[in-house]
Structure 1
Amino acid sequence: MKNNHGRHSFYGKNELCTFNSYGEESIGRFGRMFREVSPLYVNPLELAKLGAPGGPMEATNAELTSDVPLGMIFFGQFVDHDITFDTQTNFSSINNPREIENTRTATLDLDCIFGGGPEDEPFLYDKPDGRGLYLLTGKTNQNQGQAANLEKHDLPRTGTETAIIGDPRNDENRVISQFQLAMIRFYNANYDAIKNADPHKTSDEIYEEARQLVTWHYQWVVVNEFLPLLCGSKLVSEILGAGRKFYKPCHSAFIPVEFSVAAYRFGHSMINQQLKLKPSGDVHSIFSSEFGRGFEKIKNQKQIVEWEALFDFDGNYQRAEKLDTQLAAILLNLPFIDSTNPADKSLATRNLRRGQSFLLPSGESVAACMERDEGEINDVKNLIRNVSQAHNINLDNGTPLWFYILAEAEEIGRIDNGGSKPGEGLGPVGGSIVAETLIGLLEMDEESYLGHNRDWSPTLGTNGVFTMKDLLTIANTAVEL
């Protein structure tokens, strides 16, 4: 397209004309938050150098955050599994977000826990004409070949050890598997309380009431604990008070690729290479049999998570690693990837390649589109320049969005009312993408508390305050069926 006399071109115009992936979102598909911004191209060899083992992204001296529980990073993974599931894309071709089906609902509705409900997926539930529509655990399922003292600590499983749950990914490591079980038990505890309070209610009525109660309290934790902790309380308050500026769907809620392929992958920088599943337990590698080998039943007490080790119950929890441009060394050489190409085995390089396959814009371009201060952008670019030049990496065309967001977190970090905290959370670009997307999904969902009843506040917890600690404490009280 050429400029007509007297008319100005606009940024990204040629891409809008050329790529149909820059159009309005389609129902049930991914989409773009910044449709007017041109894509970035970086030589793949430079991306491989950036994410290589022994390169600039390998952490050699792990530093911990001051107040981010390690468990919150795994909770972020759980949230991701609740709203996105992409089974179609690869690195070998350009991916069009508008053609990629999201096989999860783009709502925080816990369909990974409840599936399609007891009529659609009855195998997740106990019998409605018996004890009621409790969700199955390992104990109610009587897992084949599992010791009785371990059943209640595990998910329901088939004879081949496959978890009987709404999303198979929630069995890929011990923490996510045990959190799936905690959410099941949280529902069962509330189902039991409602049933005992009014024995005349039908099992379907109790199910609907308990499901909404559980879902709204989960959403409350996302908005009032998870997002302020990772995106900054000041930013979250501004979005809730003044509205969203960048996540503005044309029709229905969707998952932006700037969120799913870049900003929400911040957690990869915050995962510890070594961690404990119990406060006084042994330290395990993230890919050890105790922690990292999912998709199989619990075989011993060491594999059972005690949540005090991962979330803030009394201040003695494990902290996540700082959010910066480095990842744990083991993540740059993934042991389960069968390839002789080091680039295939590096999680960092895979993220960078995925961003390029989705035609993501540069971080600088997105920051400019957000009208971030030029001095702030230059500060982040200086950090990036120092890293890239020290390792002879050419990023002259621009910085991949994911790497820019990590660098911004390292340079600026989470902005609370007391100021910025480098390394403690996402900076303004990354934080805005994450917080606006998750809040937007809730605001556009007529069944969520933000989309249905903005006067609602938690009925569980204490005086309208409800935290992850409260959720996990209630989960531990669930009736053993």
Structure 2
Amino acid sequence: MFPGLAPLVTDPRLLAHAGGHGGICDAAAIPGPSGDDAAESAGWPFFGQLIAHDITADRSPITSDPHPGALRNARTPKLDLEMLYSDGPTGSPFLYDTGDPAKFLLGHPDGCDVPRNQQGVALIGDPRNDSHLFVLTLHAALLRAHNRIVDLLRDDGVTDVFDQARQALTWHYQWIVVHDFLPRLVGLPLVEQVLATGGRWFAPPPGQACIPLEFSHAAFRYGHSQIRHTYRLVHGGPELPLFPDLVGFRPVPADRRLDLAMIFDLPGHPPAQRAKRIDGRLPASLIALPEQVTGTVDAAAHRSLAVRDLLRGGITGLPSGESVARHIGVPPLPPDERSWPHSTPLWIYILNEAQHHGGDRLGPVGGRIVAEVLIGLLRADPASYLNREPGRRPTLPAAGPAFGLADLLTLARHAQPAI
């Protein structure tokens, strides 16, 4: 995204110390102020994780390579819910109801799980969405939302229901990213500016999008600092850490079913739990990830998500946060607002910047990267609503004047189960 900026060279041992037990990223070692709840509800960083999975799950058909006999699988990042639909009822029939192929096959009747094979492996378009309870429950909700849209279309006499339902859900999801998710994360003025004038540092031509490293290895890893220390899954239930208690890759236990109203503000329900304020510190459950998530590691420090985030930035040669700030015309944070003594790794800088601005949303560097990339990916997708029907408004029911994620989740709660 900023190819002219020099990479920040930092000793990997320093990065491992900062992100490991007792380092500056360990909330248990350096706790923040008492009461670290942010303004937004606890589910939003998990919705951000779904977006990350979606744009990295996309693939175009295998095409011929210039070298004879060679093949390559070109990846084109899009916000098109391929993580849900995969290759459709024909190419991925195990995801769909054989009695009604326009609908997804659902798991447990109350929507708490997805279909699984006899060994407990999730039958879903992207296995990463089974990594923990929160992203899995959101995935299941989107399946149910699609099925409900199929019912609504049939009520209106539509016959080509699968393709119409897929487009409707995808475009409403894209609308939510632009008009609900991004304003909460980066602020409405920045979203409106990028929509009106386009990206200044990221504006790929149609069909030629990519994911910049500054986004994938730094800015869009902001959500790791928003994970709460513990969560309640239902009213009156126990407080549980994300890992290992809510790890996935298994059928959802009866006592681990999540009410989405506990992590999103849904109409007719009490306010949900809040996300943790962005402050550069991660809860203990992310400083010591379970082996189900990391696999076998060659060093204990590599179980820390903070260490992994820092090493990614170092290995890929990302610039410092200060150099990016100067490049885009933003005054760098003063030394007393940074947790790093000199030039700061971009991921840490973006978290420090968010904390400097209150911890509820990203600051000007992180916000600019995220807004330009997500809107730029939509602009580069010829099938997105921004290209096909930019003036289109949501058509699904909304509880308030503006359609948002809460309305889509409410629609999913009203879907009828099919096993």
Report if TM-score (shorter chain) is over 0.5.
Answer: yes
Report whether the alignment pairs 1:404 with 2:349.
Answer: yes
Q: For 2:89, what is the secondary structure of its paired residue?
A: coil
Report whether the alignment pairs 1:221 with 2:157.
Answer: no
Provide the rounded CA distance (Å) in 2 between the counterparts of 1:368 and 1:324: 22
| CA distance 1:243–1:114, change in 2 (3 Å) | same
| 1:174 CA drift (Å) | 0.8
Report whether the alignment pairs 1:159 with 2:118.
Answer: yes
| CA distance 1:85–1:123, change in 2 (3 Å) | closer
| 1:233 CA drift (Å) | 1.5
Report whether the alignment pairs 1:64 with 2:64.
Answer: no
Provide the rounded CA distance (Å) in 2 between the counterparts of 1:378 and 1:135: 48
1:347 to 290, 305, 308: 305
Provide the rounded CA distance (Å) in 2 between the counterparts of 1:192 and 1:132: 13
Provide the rounded CA distance (Å) in 1 between the counterparts of 2:189 and 2:363: 11
Aligned residues: 394
Q: For 1:118, what is the secondary structure of its paired residue?
A: helix
| CA distance 1:187–1:310, change in 2 (3 Å) | same
| 1:230 CA drift (Å) | 1.0
Quick check: 2:279–2:355 contact (8 Å CA) kept in 1?
Answer: yes
| CA distance 1:174–1:378, change in 2 (3 Å) | closer
1:469 to 391, 406, 411: 406
Report whether the alignment pairs 1:441 with 2:377.
Answer: yes
Provide the rounded CA distance (Å) in 1 between the counterparts of 2:146 and 2:114: 14
Provide the rounded CA distance (Å) in 1 between the counterparts of 2:20 and 2:113: 37
| CA distance 1:454–1:358, change in 2 (3 Å) | same
Please name the residue that 1:77 is paired with: 49
How much is the aligned-residue C-alpha RMSD, in angstroms? 2.1
Quick check: 1:82–1:105 contact (8 Å CA) kept in 2?
Answer: no
Quick check: 1:65–1:423 contact (8 Å CA) kept in 2?
Answer: no
Please name the residue that 2:128 is paired with: 169
Letter in 1 for 2:259: E
Please name the residue that 1:277 is paired with: 233
Identical aligned residues as a percent: 40
In structure 2, runs of 5+ residues without a counterpart are: 59-71
Provide the rounded CA distance (Å) in 1 between the counterparts of 2:333 and 2:169: 44
Q: For 1:133, what is the secondary structure of its paired residue?
A: strand
Please name the residue that 1:113 is paired with: 84
Provide the rounded CA distance (Å) in 2 between the counterparts of 1:103 and 1:315: 45
| CA distance 1:243–1:65, change in 2 (3 Å) | farther
Quick check: 1:50–1:57 contact (8 Å CA) kept in 2?
Answer: yes
Deviation per CA, 1:420-473, whole angstroms, max 9, x where unpaired? xx1111000000101110111111111111121111000113376211111111
2:190 to 228, 232, 235: 235
Please name the residue that 1:52 is paired with: 20
Letter in 2 for 1:47: L
Provide the rounded CA distance (Å) in 2 between the counterparts of 1:249 and 1:58: 37
Please name the residue that 1:309 is paired with: 262
Provide the rounded CA distance (Å) in 2 between the counterparts of 1:56 and 1:44: 15
Give the alignment of 1:55-454 within 5 angstroms: 55-59=23-27, 60-61=31-32, 63-84=35-56, 105-127=76-98, 130-138=99-107, 152-198=111-157, 201=159, 205-249=160-204, 252-289=208-245, 291-292=246-247, 294-300=248-254, 302-313=255-266, 314=269, 316-336=271-291, 337=294, 338-339=296-297, 341-372=299-330, 376-379=331-334, 381-384=335-338, 387-388=339-340, 395-396=341-342, 398-412=343-357, 422-454=358-390
| CA distance 1:263–1:103, change in 2 (3 Å) | farther
Q: For 2:26, what is the secondary structure of its paired residue?
A: coil
Quick check: 1:324–1:406 contact (8 Å CA) kept in 2?
Answer: yes
Provide the rounded CA distance (Å) in 2 between the counterparts of 1:115 and 1:357: 31
Quick check: 1:264–1:434 contact (8 Å CA) kept in 2?
Answer: yes
Quick check: 1:82–1:108 contact (8 Å CA) kept in 2?
Answer: yes
In structure 1, runs of 5+ residues without a counterpart are: 1-32, 87-100, 140-148, 389-394, 413-421
| 1:168 CA drift (Å) | 0.4
Report whether the alignment pairs 1:458 with 2:394.
Answer: yes
Deviation per CA, 1:401-431, whole angstroms, max 9, x where unpaired? 111111111112xxxxxxxxx1111000000
Provide the rounded CA distance (Å) in 1 between the counterparts of 2:380 and 2:270: 36
| 1:197 CA drift (Å) | 2.3
Quick check: 1:126–1:134 contact (8 Å CA) kept in 2?
Answer: yes
Letter in 1 for 2:236: S
Quick check: 1:272–1:320 contact (8 Å CA) kept in 2?
Answer: yes
| CA distance 1:159–1:454, change in 2 (3 Å) | same
Deviation per CA, 1:375-396, whole angstroms, max 9, x where unpaired? x3142x4322xx34xxxxxx54
How high is the TM-score relative to the length of structure 1? 0.78
| 1:333 CA drift (Å) | 2.5
Give the alignment of 1:13-32 within 5 angstroms: none
